[in-house]
Each structure stands twice: as C-alpha cells, then as structure tokens.
Amino acid sequence: MTKKSLILFAHGARDPNWAEPFRRLRALTQAGLPDVAVELAFLELMTPDLPQLAAQQIADGAQQVTIVPVFLGQGGHVRRDLPVLIEQLRRDHPGVAFQVAAAAGEDDGVLQALAHYCVSSSGR
C-alpha cells in the first residue's frame, strides 16, 4: 500500500495566531483521513515551509504527496511561486508522486460554504 501525505499549503503571517484556523482545518482534515499524514506548511513567515515538510514526510515513508493550497484564489503565489516549489520537489524527490490541487477558493463547495456564512452573518 502506498503511503500518502496531504500537505495543506498556506501563506503564513507574522502573527502566530493567524494560523489557528489552518491548524483547526488540519485537525478536521486529519480526522477525515486517518490513514494519511495531514500536515500544514507555509509559503513564508512561518515554519515549516513546503520543501522542509515534504522532505520530512518523504523521510517518514510518504510515496505520494498531495498539496492543497488553502488560498482563496489562484493569485501569484499559487500560479507562480507554487509551481516553482513543486518543480524543485520533483527534482529533489524523483521517486515520489506529487499532486497539486486547485486553490481551495476555486472549489464550488468552498464558495458555497463561504456564501452561506456571509448570508447568515447578515442577520437575515
């Protein structure tokens, strides 16, 4: 059986409290995928970064790594920075299968959940 890893990839911030919703998301995701190592990596300002975390997961035996950008849209970080990181990961770990999901905000279900939240917040 192929050992799998799922990395939630977020931007990062100077304020450590910024990451709390992402930590909760990681825990919720891990609960839904008990046989997969689910971790959180950051583009900048926080650790671990994506190369560090992927290398750790691979050292722990991951043969398939899925990266889920938990960004609202496909901005420059997802369109430009992430492909460069993925290309480097593929060069550094040629025996590992890397998959990259679309930014979370591109998913209709995510947008529906956010719209529901916005509507319910309006007090209607």
Tell me: the pLDDT tens digits for 69-113? Answer: 998 877 666 778 889 999 999 999 999 999 999 999 999 999 999
pTM of the entire predicted model: 0.91
Q: Is 11 a catalytic residue?
A: yes
For the chain, how many structural domains are there in total? 1
pLDDT tier for residue 124 given thresholds of 50, 70 and 90: low
Closest to 9 measured CA to CA, from 93, 75, 104:
104
Tell me: the pLDDT tens digits for 54-72? Answer: 999 999 999 999 999 998 8
Catalytic-labelled residue, pool 11, 77, 93, 116: 11
What is the Cα–Cα distance from 24 to 28, expressed in whole angstroms?
6
Instruction: Please report, for the domain that includes residue 115, its CATH number.
Output: 3.40.50.1400
What SS3 class is residue 11?
coil
Inform me whether the pLDDT recorded for 39 exceeds 90: yes
**Domain, as residue range, for 39:** 4-121
